[in-house]
Structure 1
Amino acid sequence: MKSIRNALNAAAETLSVKTPSSSSSSSSPHDLRGKVVSVGAMRIKCGDAIADGGMATVYRGRVLDDPGNNIRDVAVKQMLLPHDSSVSELDARREVELHARLSHHECVVAQLAHDVRLVPLPGGDGDCYRVLAVLELCSESLADALATAASRGEYMEETEALRAFHAAASAIARMHAETPSPLLHRDVKPENVLRARDGDGGGWKLCDFGSARVGCVPLATANDRARAEAEMVRVTTPPYRSPELWDAFRFAEIGPPSDVWALGCVLYQALFNALPFGAESRMAALNGTFTIPKHRSSGAGGAAGGGNGRSDAAVELTRATLVVDPTRRVTAAAAANRARALITGEGVDDDAWRRMVAKALGGGGGGG
């Protein structure tokens, strides 16, 4: 098993190329640059690798043959997973099949086709699961957009920040509404919020369901807490972890409110180009300690709230998601509805929202 994992890691390292030439050839059988792959009814020629991370690489693709579909430019995501006792075929299929369930939502990056099969590792040292997913090709991530704004000494327009947040919150609300058990995303962050291309409306969409799970994570016993803590290190990103992800002894379970906290971190970052709790965020998150910075920017947008260049309503929405007690955080659906109201100007004076905010912020824990 160890040799299989070593070979798989070697394959992953071979694939970790950010700016290759699509005309170049590679000795690795799993480097898709310049190759034609068949996924479902689609035949796609893969070009440059446009993103990579660990055991996954995303390529730009051109559809050569797809009966009944006019889509031409796509993204092809390839994941290589070990074929051993730690990963079953069901595990290998989990991400793409969860994505397929959500793909019809307007705020989820569309998954057009997928394929899971066993393929040989380089050198013939065993097999691995190769997962291919054909995805809607997007123009940039929220992380990219914020980095571009920062490089110009600017901030994202408040309305655009709210649009990105609204899309992510709407998609998360859809996941949380699944029955009989909610779906948890568990890795909401700016890198996983993508902007559609202008020709596709230019809106924002949520992606990457590799950390998602069905149902809440119990924290009732010592074994529950040990399993949860080990898993959260593996599937979540520290700056976006909620208090219940940092301290399994303090809370009853990890559920939908944890995604809401991550959404709040994303909104704060979109508004202020900073992390609310810093990169090493454990104690600050557990205490709910963050500040609303003061800044000036021609790109800030919104009515100034307390001299920070952002509207009081946007700051209030941020605070309502970053409440330490998960039972008092607003829901993803409520947050999405509030963001839409602030974008459109319709339904801003909403009594139900006022009651939720009073519950969320009445006991503190919503920053300062």
Structure 2
Amino acid sequence: MGCSFSGLNALYDAVNGGGDVWINENRFRILRQLGEGGFAYVFLVKEVIADDGSQGGAASGLAAKKLKNPSHVSDEGLYAMKKVLIQTEEQLELVRQEIRVSSLFSHPNLLPLLDHAIIGVKGGPEKSRNHEAYLLFPVHLDGTLLDSTKAMQSKKEFFPTLTVLQIFRQLCAGLKHMHSFDPPYAHNDVKPGNILVTNQKGRPPLAILMDFGSATPAKKEIRSRSEALQLQEWAAEHCSAPFRAPELWDCPSHADIDERTDIWSLGCTLYATMYGVSPFEHVLGESGGSLQLAVMNAQVKWPAGGPDPPYPEQLRQFVVWLLQPQPTVRPRIDDVILHVDKLMAKFSSE
């Protein structure tokens, strides 16, 4: 389904005509587009503060809202704004669910939702009531972990072992926050493209997990073939294939799914932080290769090329430990954190 003409025209006018966007009582000027995907667009925006002579300047803008963490207010007034064009009730409910789930979390390694608005617009051939959603986040202009690994690959460079572990440890901290809810939440789409990495002078990179559009309560009781097929269909739509856990590819008719689907994705992401791709994407370049079979068999292959000296064997074994195809023997996040802390202590002292 394509975007409505009114939605596209409004988007064009805002970006090219210098139009402003209001999110509730706060006004933002679009500076440039940062990315897009599906029906969503992400823009760099700057808050516009009315010069009404009031004291405090920005205090009359976003800073005046009761944010969970006031430190998320940008001194420069710069933010990331996600705009979603909504044409169906299903799309509308998905956006509302993303807002509800995002609003639950408050952790330095999870991207916070600062503000949001859903407005009705007229569009389509029958002038039906469509919607546009605006979601406001802190901006991180250094890009994603995927951007970083691609740039490094082009120069045949790799993260040092300790940096790999530092980034991974922060992801674990963010996921622990989600997994600690009662009931626990699973992110369901942990991958390098959903991890913002900000370089900090003299300090390890800051890693922040984002995009909670696929996040759901983690525990699912599957008790029939139809329920198993429903879960697989949902996963095919919401969980990126190279990072998707085996039980979401081929779910048994009687299964208890839990947050350890994220642990599998964490293992794939750790490998991708090291080598730039998931551990199973190699089959896509092979004749008759099947990504699903590679995942189901946990066929982890180590690239011939890599850093010099190579990554230590303990780090490789850590990846394999995370990628247990049987979810019942896969570690939980607390066990993962204990292990990564030991590895960090070892390689920090070398």
- TM-score bin (small chain): 0.7 to 0.9
Match of 1:52 among 30, 36, 53: 36
Note if contact 1:142-1:164 (Cα within 8 Å) is conserved in structure 2. no
Hey, what's the Cα distance between the residues in 1 that align with 2:101 and 2:31? 26
> Does the C-alpha gap of structure 1 residues 338 and 251 become closer, same or farther in structure 2, counting only changes over 3 Å?
farther
Residues 256 and 215 (structure 1 numbering): CA distance in 2 closer, same or farther, change over 3 Å? closer
Aligned position for 1:354 = none
Distance 2:200 2:132 in 1: 32
Structure 1 residues 184-234: Cα deviation after superposition (integer angstroms, max 9, x where no partner) = 111111000101364898401000011111242332202211211211111
Is 1:261 equivalent to 2:264 in the alignment?
Answer: yes
> What is the Cα deviation at residue 250 of structure 1?
6.9
* TM-score, length of structure 1 as denominator length: 0.78
Give 2:297's aligned amino acid: N
Match of 1:301 in 2: none
2:231 is equivalent to residue 228 of structure 1: yes
C-alpha separation in 1, matches of 2:209 and 2:120: 28
**Where does the alignment leave 5 or more consecutive residues of structure 2 unmatched?**
50-60, 64-72, 285-289
Q: Give the direction of change, closer, same or farther, for the CA distance of 1:244–1:48 in structure 2 (3 Å limit).
A: same
AA aligned to 1:322 is: L
- SS of 1:186's partner is coil
Quickly say closer, same or farther: Cα 1:202–1:112, change in 2 above 3 A: farther
Give me the identity figure in percent: 20
Partner of residue 291, structure 2: 281
Question: Is the 1:156–1:270 Cα contact (8 Å) retained in structure 2?
Answer: yes
Residues 189-204 of structure 1: pairs in structure 2 closer than 5 A: 189-196=191-198, 198=200, 202-204=205-207
Number of residues paired by the alignment?
316
2:197 equivalent to 1:174: no
**Which amino acid in structure 1 is aligned with residue 163 of structure 2?**
E
Deviation at 1:60, TM superposition (A): 0.6
* Within-5 A mapping of 1:124-163: 125-138=127-140, 139-163=142-166
Distance 1:155 1:7, change over 3 A: closer
* Residues 134, 202 of structure 1: alpha-carbon distance in 2 compared, 3 angstrom cutoff: farther
* Residue 64 in structure 1 maps to residue 48 in structure 2: yes
Matches within 5 A, 1:311-326: 311-326=312-327
1:75-114 CA-to-partner distances (Å, cap 9, x unmatched) read 1011122243x355x5431102211211x20101232211
TM-score with structure 2 length normalisation? 0.82
SS at match of 1:29: helix
Which residue does the alignment assign to 1:295? 305
CA distance in 1 between counterparts of 2:277 and 2:291 reads: 13
Q: Distance in 2 between matches of 1:337 and 1:128?
A: 48
